[in-house]
């Protein structure tokens, strides 16, 4: 039902005939079927980051230089605006990472929800900097609120903090557990502290802390946990004198923070160089991702014309040779070339046979999702507002072919970019994963603005063909292993007396 509603929500205003609705409901059922048939997308257990030393980090920093040189070459070949400034900024960041390895200030974040005791703990730890030399301690308070996107907070911690003290005041929530998992897997040193244990009765304190520890057991690598009281509440104390008379007074218990203070002191005296190296390595990895994002931006500019070319080549073929249904063989052939062309643009080259296999599998996904039929119905309605000659036969198939090629191209670009960013460019391509990208793009491509823009471009591209082409003179698309797509369109006849 959700898929059907998504499809219906993007319809052109004029699409109200029953055949359209039936087709789109069937397409929605195809989405449901595909989701049921495909394997459940279970994430593999994340692998903790390996410990690093200064030598490994220096090697990683040096390894950024070839990427910078390659980016400079691509920017220059594409005549990218401000390319010198972009390269200079990346190089400046690379140089700053080399200097960061000599940092002697340990960056520690105290993270927790409002009124979890962050400020009180900072006061207790504030004296350590003066007592431990030659390293020093810089504490940062990080508040978690209902409006705070936890992934963004955790990402910032990984880039700017060497260690984290994570405060909770009750049982561990799912969001807190997810934060701890992300931090520990990325190699950051973390201590979980159950604060305000004085709020519990003595008999309950151990039970609550034991439950927290049990929930931490699946985490790898394991993290340190402790129960503390940074600012115990005053308590009423009753005593009796020798005569048996009761006396009451209010006392404030001593804070219980020794476990945290001891661990932070150990970080300062024994582990600062290692923790700093881990942080700088994470920063190196982030800079590598930033470089790859810039590569993706440049390559998308190169890839878009290929998608446009094959989109209208597919449309011209379908326009000149109307069939009872979309010519799937032509669509597969064009998408096969598109897979190969885009793989080369994104520096993930495929052989032609591999590209054809992926294209065939992707086409199968498109059919099962009902997108072929749905696109035809969507475009039939959208074409009603244009010239009648374009609302019949080959024109609907032409726009459907263009739509499907465009959707496949956008999905492939998003897929190749994600693979590059995640460092999985060397792994085998997955038609299922590309299909997931395609499915995510469907709502955008079903909006009337997108369809009308596609039709406007198509009318301009296809109008000259109405007189120049006949069914027997259809353009052909030739695939070549060299990665060059050739569209052959028969020459227009030359009238007597005209120059050749």
The CATH superfamily of 105-256 is: P-loop containing nucleotide triphosphate hydrolases (3.40.50.300)
Under DSSP, is residue 250 helix (H, G, I), strand (E, B) or coil? strand
Q: Which DSSP string do the residues of 189-212 spell out, in sequence order?
A: EEEEEE--GGGS-HHHHHHHHHHH
| Residues in contact with 318: Cβ distance below 8 Å, sequence separation at least 6, in sequence order | 326, 327, 330, 394, 397, 398, 400, 401
Say whether pLDDT at 195 is over 50: yes
At 262-293, the pLDDT tens digits run: 999 999 999 999 999 999 999 999 999 999 99
> Which of 10-19, 73-82, 299-308 has the lowest average pLDDT?
10-19
Domain segments of the chain as ranges:
2-42+299-488, 105-256
Q: Of the candidates 445, 485, 463, which has an alpha carbon nearest to the alpha carbon of residue 315?
A: 463
CB contact at 8 A, 317 and 401? yes
Q: For position 240, what pLDDT does the model report?
A: 79
| Average pLDDT estimate for 250-263 | 90
Q: For position 146, what pLDDT does the model report?
A: 82
Q: For position 185, what pLDDT does the model report?
A: 92
At 72-127, the pLDDT tens digits run: 999 998 889 899 999 999 999 999 999 999 999 999 999 999 999 999 999 999 87
Q: What is the dihedral of CA 207, 208, 209, 211, to 10 degrees?
A: 80
Angstrom CA distances, 246 to 77, 241, 242, 253, stand at 90, 7, 10, 21
Of residues 335 and 179, more confidently modeled: 179
CB contact at 8 A, 334 and 314? yes
> Which of 35-39, 185-189, 343-347, 351-355 has the lowest average pLDDT?
35-39
Query: DSSP secondary-structure letter at 256?
Result: B
Alpha-carbon Rg of the chain, whole angstroms?
32
Tokens encoding 28? 């929605």
Q: Kindly state the greatest CA–CA separation across the chain.
A: 135
d(CA 183, CA 165): 11
| Residues in contact with 237: Cβ distance below 8 Å, sequence separation at least 6, in sequence order | 248, 249, 250, 251
Any long-range contacts for 13-20 (C-beta under 8 Å, 24+ apart)?
A: 13/448, 14/381, 14/382, 14/384, 14/385, 15/377, 15/378, 15/381, 15/382, 17/381, 19/377, 20/377, 20/378, 20/380, 20/381
Residue 31: enclosing H or E segment and its boundaries? helix 18-37
Beta bridge partners of residue 139, listed in sequence order = 108
> Which of 73-77, 125-129, 332-336, 416-420 has the lowest average pLDDT?
332-336
Q: For position 17, what pLDDT does the model report?
A: 46
């Amino acid at each position: 039902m959700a898929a059907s509603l998504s499809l219906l929500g993007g319809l052109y205003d004029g699409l109200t005939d029953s055949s359209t609705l039936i087709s789109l409901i069937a397409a929605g059922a195809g989405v449901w079927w595909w989701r049921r048939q495909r394997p459940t997308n279970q994430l593999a257990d994340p692998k903790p980051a390996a410990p690093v030393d200064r030598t490994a980090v220096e090697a990683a920093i040096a390894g950024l230089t070839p990427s910078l040189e390659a980016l400079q070459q691509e920017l220059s070949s594409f005549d990218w605006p401000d390319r010198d400034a972009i390269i200079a900024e990346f190089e400046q960041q690379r140089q700053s990472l080399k200097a960061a390895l000599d940092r002697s200030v340990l960056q520690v974040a105290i993270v927790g929800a409002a009124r979890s005791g962050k400020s009180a703990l900072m006061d207790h730890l504030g004296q350590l900097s003066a007592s431990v030399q030659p390293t020093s301690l810089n504490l940062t308070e990080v508040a978690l609120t209902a409006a705070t996107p936890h992934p963004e907070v955790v990402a910032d911690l990984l880039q700017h903090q060497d260690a984290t003290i994570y405060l909770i005041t009750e049982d561990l929530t799912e969001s807190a557990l997810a934060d701890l998992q992300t931090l520990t897997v990325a190699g950051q040193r973390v201590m979980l502290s159950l604060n305000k244990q004085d709020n519990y009765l003595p008999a309950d304190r151990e039970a609550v802390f034991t439950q927290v520890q049990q929930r931490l057991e699946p985490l790898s690598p394991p993290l340190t946990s402790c129960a503390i009281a940074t600012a115990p509440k005053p308590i009423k104390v009753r005593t009796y004198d020798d005569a048996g008379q009761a006396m009451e007074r209010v006392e404030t218990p001593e804070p219980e923070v020794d476990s945290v203070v001891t661990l932070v002191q150990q970080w300062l005296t024994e582990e600062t160089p290692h923790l700093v190296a881990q942080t700088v390595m994470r920063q190196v990895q982030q800079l590598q991702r930033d470089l790859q994002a810039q590569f993706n931006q440049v390559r998308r500019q190169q890839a878009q014309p290929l998608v446009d070319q094959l989109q209208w080549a597919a449309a011209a073929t379908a326009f000149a040779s109307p069939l009872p249904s979309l010519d799937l063989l032509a669509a597969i052939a064009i998408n096969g070339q598109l897979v190969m062309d885009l793989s080369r643009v994104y520096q993930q080259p495929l052989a032609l046979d591999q590209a054809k296999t992926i294209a065939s599998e992707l086409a199968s996904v498109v059919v099962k999702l009902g997108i072929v039929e749905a696109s035809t119905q969507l475009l039939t309605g959208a074409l009603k507002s244009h010239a009648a000659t374009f609302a019949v036969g080959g024109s609907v198939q032409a726009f459907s072919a263009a739509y499907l090629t465009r959707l496949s191209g956008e999905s492939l670009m998003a897929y190749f970019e994600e693979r590059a960013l995640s460092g999985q460019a060397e792994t085998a391509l997955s038609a299922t994963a590309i299909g997931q990208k395609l499915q995510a793009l469907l709502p955008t491509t079903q909006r009337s603005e997108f369809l009308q823009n596609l039709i406007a471009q198509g009318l301009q591209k296809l109008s000259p063909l109405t007189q120049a082409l006949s069914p027997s003179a259809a353009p052909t698309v030739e695939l070549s292993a060299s990665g060059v797509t050739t569209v052959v369109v028969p020459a227009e006849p030359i009238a007597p007396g005209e120059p050749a």
